[in-house]
A and B are shown apart, each in its own frame.
Chain A
Amino acid sequence: MTAITNEVLAELGPGLLADMIRVREFEERCAQLYGETKIRGFLHLYIGEEAVAAGVLHCLEPDDAVLATYREHGHALLRGLSARSIMAEMFGRREGCSGGRGGSMHLFDASLGFFGGNAIVGGHLPVAVGLGLAAQMQKQDRVTACFFGEGAMAEGEFHEAMNLAALWNAPVLFCCENNRYAMGTSLETSESETNLAIKAASYEMPAWTVDGMDVLAVRAATERALTLIRAGGGPVFLELQTYRFRAHSMFDPDKYRDPAEVEVWRTRDPIATFGQALIADGILTTEEIESIQQAAVAEVDDAVAFADAGTLEPIEELARHVYRRVDGVQAAEVQR
Chain B
Amino acid sequence: MTSMTMIEAIRDAHMVAMERDDTVVVFGEDVGYFGGVFRCTQGLQERFGDHRCFDTPISEAGIVGAAVGMAAYGLRPCVEIQFADYMYPAYDQIVSEAARLRHRSAGDFTAPLVIRMPTGGGIFGGQTHSQSPEALFTHVAGLKTVVVSNPYDAKGLLIAAIEDDDPVIFLEPKRVYNGPFDGHPDRPIVPWSKHPLGEVPEGHYRIEVGTARLHREGSDLTVLTYGTMVHVAEAAAEEHGLDAEIIDLRTLVPLDVDTIVASVTKTGRCLVMHEATLTSGFGAELAATVQERCMFHLEAPIIRVCGWDTPYPHAHEWSYFPGPARVGYAMRELMDA
What residues of chain A have their CB less than 8 Å away from a CB belonging to chain B? Answer: 65, 98-99, 101-102, 106, 108-111, 115-117, 120, 123-135, 137-138, 142, 144, 156-157, 160-161, 163-164, 167, 320-324, 328-330
Contacts and interface: CB of A to CB of B under 8 A. Distances in A.
Contact of A101 (B67, B104, B164): B104
Most chain A CB neighbours (cut-off 10 Å) among B71, B75, B107, B110: B107
Given A321-B103, A322-B103, A322-B141, A125 B65 contact: yes
Of residues A110, A132, A321, which shows the largest number of chain B Cβ atoms within 10 Å of its Cβ? A321
B62 A163 contact: yes
B219 interface: no
A322 B98 CA distance: 11
A142 B69 CA distance: 13
A109 B92 contact: no
B255 A329 contact: yes
A135 B75 CA distance: 10
Contacts of A142: 73
B105 A130 contact: no
Contacts of B89: 156
B287 interface: no
B104 to A, nearest CB: 5
Which of A108, A132, A142 is packed against the most chain B CB atoms within 10 Å?
A: A108
A323 B142 contact: yes
26 contacts: A98-B105, A98-B108, A101-B104, A106-B104, A110-B105, A111-B108, A120-B92, A124-B97, A125-B65, A126-B68, A130-B66, A131-B69, A133-B66, A133-B70, A134-B72, A137-B25, A156-B89, A157-B93, A160-B59, A160-B62, A322-B103, A322-B141, A323-B142, A323-B166, A324-B110, A330-B141
Interface centre among B61, B67, B106 (most CB of A within 10 A): B106
Interface string B155-178: 000000000111000000000000
A120 B93 CA distance: 10
Interface residues of B, number: 44
Contacts of A106: 104
Contacts of A138: 73-75
Contacts of B144: 323
Interface of B: 25, 51, 56-57, 59, 61-62, 64-75, 77, 89, 92-93, 96-97, 102-110, 141-142, 144, 164-166, 210, 254-255, 257
> By CB atoms of chain B within 10 A, which of A125, A137, A323, A329 has the most?
A323
Contact of A130 (B65, B96, B164): B65
Nearest to B96: A120
Contact of B69 (A120, A134, A160): A134
6 closest residue pairs by CB, A with B: A130-B69, A126-B65, A160-B62, A134-B73, A108-B105, A110-B108
Contacts, number: 144
A129 B66 CA distance: 5
B62 A131 contact: no
Given A160-B62, A163-B62, A328-B254, 19 more contacts: A101-B106, A102-B104, A102-B105, A110-B108, A115-B109, A120-B96, A126-B62, A126-B64, A126-B69, A130-B66, A130-B68, A130-B77, A134-B73, A156-B89, A160-B59, A161-B62, A163-B57, A321-B106, A323-B166
Contacts of A133: 66, 69-70
A321 B104 CA distance: 8
A130 B67 contact: yes
Given A156-B61, A322-B141, A329-B254, A131 B72 contact: yes
B294 to A, nearest CB: 15
B62 A164 contact: yes
A125 B105 CA distance: 17
Contacts of B104: 98, 101-102, 106, 108, 116-117
Nearest to B112: A324
Contacts of A99: 106
A131 B73 CA distance: 6
A163 B103 CA distance: 29
Nearest to B73: A134
A129 B56 CA distance: 13
B102 A134 contact: no
Contacts of B65: 123-127, 129-130, 157, 160-161
Contacts of A128: 69
B59 A127 contact: no
A49 B88 CA distance: 35
B212 to A, nearest CB: 13
B105 A116 contact: yes
A126 B93 contact: yes
